Amino acid sequence: MATDALAAPATAKRPPGKGRRRGRGTRANETVAGWLFVAPVIVILGLFLLLPILMALWVSLTDWNGQGSPFTGKVPFVGGDNYTRLFTEDGLDRRDFMTSLRNNVYYVAIVVPTQTVLALGLALIVNNRMLKGKGFFRTAFYFPSVTSSVAISVVFLFMFSSSGAVNNLLAMFGIDGPQWFADSRGVLHLLLGVFGLDTDNPPGALTGGGPLGLTWWDWLSGPSVAMMSIIALVVWTTSGTFMLMFLAALQNVPVVLDEASTLDGASRWQRFRHVTLPMIRPTMFLVLTLGLIGCWQVFDQVYVMSQGDPAKTTLTPAYLSYRTAFRDFDYGSGAAISFVLFLIIIVFTVLQRWLMAEREPAGARRGPWWRRRVRQGG
Amino acid sequence: MAVPTDRPAAAPTPARPRRDQGARALASRFVGYAVLVFFGLVFLYPFVIQIGNSFKTEPDAAANPLSPIPDPVSMAGFERIFEGTNFPLWLGNSLLVTVLVTLGRVFFDSLAGYALARLRFRGRGGLFAAIIAVMAVPGVVLLIPKFLVLNQLGIYDSYAGLVVPLLADAAGVFIMKQFFESIPVSVEEAARIDGASVFRTFWSVVLPMAKPALITLTILSFQGSWNEFPHSLVSVQNPDLFTLPRGLADLVSGSLGKGNQYPLKLGAALLATIPVAVLFVIFQRYFVRDANDGADKG
């Protein structure tokens, strides 16, 4: 896909590099130097990024089990079987894959809006000229983003343990906290239970069947309680980064605009809604789409905190592909899941670059939109 | 310039902030601080808990997880980190990998960034487009592919497998290219007219001017490779080659045997966090620059 572009330069022969002394003219000299300068990066990215993708594409069409080399004639070629098993054949593979998609969709549906609103809220407060000590708070909000995902997962594992800090805090308000990482109940199911639905015996109309190997009841579970703690961790770590992006955008909103609307008698909410928000719309798009892209890549936290448990409710496509390949030694299926995930992420990335390009004034456009990198914050 | 969003709506003129006193301004300022402090706690208290609990005894940590004060103070967790686990080994591996990767990235990324920004050669446009495309490739889908190539090249489960694939990154090339484009050409041209070679011009004239970008790149590379987890997961399986995040993940998944051992785990996580935390405090504005430049990573 997008990476194909690398193929041409990566495989192109480097110009003959020996006779590059002076006398050949600066142009030839620059050509040689140019290719020599980029050579290490091309070799490393080609060898460890492009080539492996092609290799994995091949493996996803085979039944390789990790023994020997996947590139010999002995490995059974199965064509698109690994892919069709994920979508059309009823079985454990499809059920697991669909479960992971469901989990990740709910995860996205909560993380993206929450982190965006939180990041914008924090940016608005930190951007307030009348408050002192904002620098400290900005640093504090951003700090979690730079720490190791594994190290911070350890901390949250402790905080969300059944007699941990979070449940202690909830107990102060008289709430009996759940057993976070052992609780596979879906949040939507719990909500339905609150409204009087008997969740132990869900309506037969929902449990009787459903699309793609999961029952309607399963599809409508919402994120599990265990997934909610991973969501809490991710929102907590990423909001700071997005806050900084909003902050940069807010600082580009001309003060006169705000003052003019104040003169016109606009309320604070009106000013935010009709002055600030339109001005930071490009950043809003950026934050939303980066959030979407990032959310489909959640892996470290799942690996450290839950390994897909309880009852597969924290399984995500990224983790499932890892598990299928490295635990079940079904590298073909694992690679196939990776490529489906790749496709999902690429769709969002293309959407993002297209949206951002649309928003740029016509005069600022150079080259086709997919080539331009996202500029943000102005 | 900061934007005052907090001015009372009824102010007759766009007055300067220090003039609009009044109960409303005071109240909104109070609310502002309350919100700031609340979120300050939300974002920092987990670290306070982490530090406090790593100095606790195990029963104390289990009974009072919310309290930041250990009672009694116990170094048992830290002692066991160094005596009962391979922590020193992981630390050594992490240091080695981080130093090599950082050096490699800074050198290779600036070379490529300079060529893409300044040298005119055929294929430059296509190359740059390729770099941009590569930045969009999500790391998690590369888990199996990386394993395959390392296996095929015979460097799976070795230091080479741990280090070499990380020696260059597209985002770093992009940062350096953008920076080199922002500095004036005239100095280089003078050097070139004096007969300096392209590399010499790059090395002794351009690179010294690129200090801010080099610092940014150094910090990002350090942070990235120090925290790197998925790559170590698919490139090595020998415990002697584990880096800190890998070792930490191993600790958590329960190779310790009995009990939760939270003081030990929190302590190990704390020690793994400290280098980046120190770097962050010292070079904060370089971290911030990265976020403002809009990183493509999740």
Which residue in B121, B233, B287 has the most chain A C-beta atoms within 10 A of its own C-beta, making it the best mutation to test that interface? B121
Identify whether the C-beta of residue A252 lies closer than 8 Å to the C-beta of residue A123: no
Query: What is the C-alpha to C-alpha distance for residues A313 and A219, in angstroms, rounded to an integer?
Result: 11
CA distance readout (Å), A153 to A156, A302, A307, B60, B70: 5, 9, 12, 21, 22
Task: Give A200-242 pLDDT, tens digit per residue.
Answer: 777 777 777 778 778 888 888 889 999 999 999 999 999 999 9
Is residue A15 helix, strand or coil? coil
- pLDDT bracket for residue A323 (50, 70, 90): very high
CA distance to partner chain A, nearest, from residue B252 (Å): 7
Any A CB within 8 A of B259 CB: no
Query: What is the C-alpha to C-alpha distance for residues B106 and B220, in angstroms, rounded to an integer?
Result: 10
One-letter-per-residue 3-state SS of B124-139: HHHHHHHHHHHHCCCH
Query: What is the C-alpha to C-alpha distance for residues A284 and A377, in angstroms, rounded to an integer?
Result: 10
Any A CB within 8 A of B103 CB: no
For A113, the token pair is 């809006």
DSSP bridge partners of A77: A62
The pLDDT, as a whole number, for residue A254 is: 83
- Give B38's Cβ-side CA count (13 Å radius): 10
Any A CB within 8 A of B289 CB: no
Rounded to an integer, the average pLDDT of B156-182 is: 91
The pLDDT, as a whole number, for residue A46 is: 92
For A205, the token pair is 């109309």
DSSP state of A281: H
Q: With pLDDT > 70 as the criterion, what percentage of chain A qualifies?
A: 87
Is this model's pTM higher than 0.90 or not?
no
Query: What is the C-alpha to C-alpha distance for residues A306 and A369, in angstroms, rounded to an integer?
Result: 40
Which residue in B36, B178, B188 has the most chain A C-beta atoms within 10 A of its own C-beta, making it the best mutation to test that interface? B36
- pLDDT bracket for residue A370 (50, 70, 90): very low
Residue A5 scores a pLDDT above 80: no
Residue A12 scores a pLDDT above 60: no
- pLDDT bracket for residue A66 (50, 70, 90): confident
Query: What is the C-alpha to C-alpha distance for residues B9 and B124, in angstroms, rounded to an integer?
Result: 54
Identify whether the C-beta of residue A334 lies closer than 8 Å to the C-beta of residue A321: yes
Task: Give B224-264 pLDDT, tens digit per residue.
Answer: 999 999 999 999 999 899 999 999 998 887 655 556 788 88
Task: Give B125-144 pLDDT, tens digit per residue.
Answer: 999 999 988 888 888 888 98
Q: Is A131–B32 a contact, with Cβ atoms under 8 angstroms apart?
A: yes
Task: Give B18-67 pLDDT, tens digit per residue.
Answer: 445 577 778 888 888 888 899 999 999 999 999 999 998 888 888 888 88
Residue A71 scores a pLDDT above 60: yes
The pLDDT, as a whole number, for residue B66 is: 86
Q: What is the value of ipTM here, to two decimals? A: 0.83
Query: What is the C-alpha to C-alpha distance for residues B269 and A154, in angstroms, rounded to an integer?
Result: 7
CB atoms within 10 A of CB B84: 13
Q: Which residues contact B34 (CB under 8 A, 6 or more apart)?
A: none
- pLDDT bracket for residue B298 (50, 70, 90): very low
Q: Is A345–B115 a contact, with Cβ atoms under 8 angstroms apart?
A: no
CA triplet A135, A152, B240: central angle to 5 degrees? 130
* Type of residue found at B251: L
The pLDDT, as a whole number, for residue B39 is: 92
Query: What is the C-alpha to C-alpha distance for residues A39 and A297, in angstroms, rounded to an integer?
Result: 30
Cα dihedral A210→A211→A215→A218 (10° resolution): -140
CB-nearest to A148 from B111, B129, B272 is: B272
Any B CB within 8 A of A11 CB: no
Task: Give A102-129 pLDDT, tens digit per residue.
Answer: 999 999 999 999 999 999 999 998 887 7
Any A CB within 8 A of B265 CB: yes
Name the average pLDDT for chain A: 82
Task: Give A82-95 pLDDT, tens digit per residue.
Answer: 898 888 888 888 88
Tokens 């793994």 belong to residue: B272
The pLDDT, as a whole number, for residue A25 is: 59
- Give B33's Cβ-side CA count (13 Å radius): 9
Is residue B75 helix, strand or coil? coil
Any B CB within 8 A of A86 CB: no
Contacting residues of A for B234, CB less than 8 Å apart: 326
Identify whether the C-beta of residue A116 lies closer than 8 Å to the C-beta of residue A236: no
Rounded to an integer, the average pLDDT of A163-185 is: 85
CA distance readout (Å), B242 to A86, B48, B88, B169: 33, 28, 11, 22
DSSP state of A253: S
